[in-house]
Chain A
Amino acid sequence: DIQMTQSPSSVSASVGDRVTITCRASQGISSWLAWYQQKPGKAPKLLIYAASSLQSGVPSRFSGSGSGTDFTLTISSLQPEDFATYYCQQANSFPLFTFGPGTKVDIK
Chain B
Amino acid sequence: EVQLVESGGVVVQPGGSLRLSCAASGFTFDDYAMHWVRQAPGKGLEWVSLISWDGGSTYYADSVKGRFTISRDNSKNSLYLQMNSLRAEDTALYYCAKDIIGGYSYGGHFDYWGQGTLVTVSS
Contacts and interface: CB of A to CB of B under 8 A. Distances in A.
B106 A94 contact: yes
Contact of A43 (B50, B59, B95, B106): B95
Contacts of B62: 96
B45 A43 contact: no
B108 A94 contact: yes
Interface secondary structure of B, over-half rule: strand
Interface in A72-105: 87, 89, 91-92, 94-102
Interface residues of B, number: 22
B11 interface: no
Given A95-B50, A95-B59, A96-B61, A44 B109 contact: no
Interface string B80-123: 00000000000000010000100000111111111110000000
A43 B116 contact: yes
Interface residues of A, number: 25
Interface string B2-38: 0000000000000000000000000000000001000
A9 to B, nearest CB: 11
A86 to B, nearest CB: 11
Contact of A34 (B61, B109, B113): B109
From B61, B110, B111, B116, residue with most partner A Cβ within 10 Å:
B110
Nearest to A102: B44
B106 A46 contact: no
B106 A49 contact: no
Contacts of B35: 97
B46 interface: yes
B45 A55 contact: no
Given A36-B45, A45-B113, A89-B110, 7 more contacts: A36-B110, A46-B109, A49-B100, A49-B109, A95-B59, A97-B35, A102-B45
Closest 4 CB pairs of A and B: A91-B108, A95-B59, A43-B113, A34-B109
Interface of B: 35, 44-47, 50, 59, 61-62, 95, 100, 106-116
